[in-house]
């Protein structure tokens, strides 16, 4: 907590005051994980009283906002003076929603930026900040899932897809998902202290709060340059790692013959789909070795190998060392190889 934060608390103002701007079709999990951490840190026990922290869900006319899953959240206030808040948090959702926060909310966010309020983009809320011209010259933390969407829409912005959240001056961006809980804990610790952050995380049964620079789970593998059926095939491979599907089944899902798919891979990637599939699973296993404490057997099963011995043999052929040596001697190798980049192309 800064001296300014302490002074505001002594004057009767909560030490952490957050405004929430929800986009139409916003991601409910990003909002709920973030706000429940703030709620639990704001009061003793589970009282939910806005004592040490306050939060307001804003909308024009205090109308409710619909989430992407169809549930509505009621606003608690309209748009007033943005300078009263420590943070303005924009929670995004479905990318193709037209004018997702509306003109009044956009004006509020812009006025907040002018007043020096720290702006936070949760999930695709970062896209909204970029569309408002508020992220130029700043790094933007993006989920690997939306990384390609981001660089296509904002080719002149700096996209980072290898971490959970990041601060760049008066801007904080978060990849979304469970990372919103880690960001909330980070803000709580900065304003209310470590014990308040720990209490919120423990009540919500989070094992620990992760740092912003920790890697996002399962970084992407599909090539930026991969288009059409190659990209779709690789995505199907990524989505079926624990229980790999046959190349014939992949071909059928793409309305192609096995021979057509193999020819397409050889012409585009330089190797066959079976080899690409195996490499995707080995890279995923490498990432699990570097970033988790799971057993070798569990990792083998998660990456779709029949048994630990088969996995160890294939892994050594690919990397020159068995998985146990990779974990012991090169704990960050997989993270450096995978995080924030696409490997084919």
SS3 for 52-117, per residue? CEEEEEECHHHCCEEECCCCEECCCECCCCHHHCCEEEEECECCCCCCCCHHHHHHHHHHHHHCCC
SS3 307: coil
Concatenate the DSSP letters of all residues of 218-284 into one string.
S---S-TT--HHHHHHHHHHHTTSSSPPPHHHHHHHTT--HHHHHHHHHHHTSS-HHHHHHHHHHHH
CA-wise closest residue to 143 among 172, 119, 179: 179
- Average pLDDT over every residue of 307-321: 91
Question: Distances from the Cα of 170 to the Cαs of 166, 192, 270, in angstroms?
Answer: 11, 19, 45
| pLDDT score, position 328 | 59
Domains of the chain: 3-203 (3.40.50.880), 228-338 (1.10.10.60)
Q: How far is 250 from 247, CA to CA, in rounded Å?
A: 5
Please answer whether residues 93 and 112 qualify as being in contact, where contact means their C-beta atoms are separated by less than 8 angstroms: no
- Residue 223 confidence (pLDDT) above 60: no
CA-wise closest residue to 124 among 97, 92, 150, 155: 92
- Residue 341 confidence (pLDDT) above 50: no
- Residue 285 confidence (pLDDT) above 60: yes
- Residue 295 confidence (pLDDT) above 80: yes
SS3 141: strand
| pLDDT score, position 344 | 36
pLDDT (tens digit per residue) in 163-199:
899 999 999 999 999 999 999 999 999 999 999 999 9
Q: How far apart are the first and last CA of the chain?
A: 46
| pLDDT score, position 10 | 34
State the chain's mean pLDDT as an integer: 86
Among the listed ranges 5-9, 63-67, 258-262, 272-276, which one has the minimum average pLDDT value? 5-9
SS3 47: coil
| pLDDT score, position 219 | 52
pLDDT (tens digit per residue) in 79-124:
999 999 999 999 999 998 889 999 999 999 999 999 999 999 999 9
Q: How far is 128 from 293, CA to CA, in rounded Å?
A: 37
Please answer whether residues 85 and 225 qualify as being in contact, where contact means their C-beta atoms are separated by less than 8 angstroms: no
- Average pLDDT over every residue of 295-310: 92
| pLDDT score, position 270 | 86
């Amino acid at each position: 907590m800064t001296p300014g934060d302490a002074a505001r608390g002594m004057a009767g103002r909560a030490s952490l005051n957050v405004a929430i701007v929800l986009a139409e079709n916003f991601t409910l999990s990003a909002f709920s994980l973030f706000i429940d951490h703030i709620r639990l840190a704001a009061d003793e026990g589970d009282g939910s009283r806005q004592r040490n922290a306050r939060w307001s869900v804003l909308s024009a006319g205090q109308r409710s906002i619909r989430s992407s899953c169809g549930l509505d959240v009621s606003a608690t206030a309209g748009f007033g003076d943005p300078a009263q808040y420590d943070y303005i948090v924009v929670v995004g959702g479905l990318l193709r929603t037209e004018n997702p926060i509306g003109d009044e909310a956009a004006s509020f966010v812009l006025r907040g930026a002018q007043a020096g309020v720290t702006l936070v983009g949760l999930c695709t809320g970062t896209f909204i900040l970029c569309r408002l011209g508020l992220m130029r010259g700043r790094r933007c933390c993006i989920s690997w899932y939306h990384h390609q969407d981001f660089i296509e829409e904002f080719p002149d912005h700096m996209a980072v897809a290898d971490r959970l959240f990041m601060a760049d001056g008066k801007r904080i961006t978060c990849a979304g998902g469970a990372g919103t809980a880690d960001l909330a804990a980070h803000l709580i610790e900065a304003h209310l202290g470590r014990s308040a952050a720990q209490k919120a995380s423990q009540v919500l049964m989070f094992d620990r709060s992760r740092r912003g620079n920790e890697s996002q789970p399962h970084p992407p593998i599909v090539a930026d340059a991969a288009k059409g059926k190659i990209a779709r095939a690789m995505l199907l491979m990524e989505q079926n790692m624990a229980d790999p599907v046959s190349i014939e089944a992949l071909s059928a899902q793409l309305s192609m013959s096995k021979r057509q798919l193999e020819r397409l891979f050889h012409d585009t990637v330089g190797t066959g789909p079976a080899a690409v599939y195996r490499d995707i699973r080995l890279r995923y296993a490498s990432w699990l070795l570097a970033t988790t404490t799971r057993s070798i057997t569990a990792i083998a099963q998660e990456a779709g190998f029949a048994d630990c011995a088969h996995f160890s043999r294939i892994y050594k052929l690919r990397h020159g060392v068995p998985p146990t040596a990779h974990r012991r001697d090169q704990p960050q190798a997989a993270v450096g190889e995978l995080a924030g980049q696409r490997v084919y192309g």
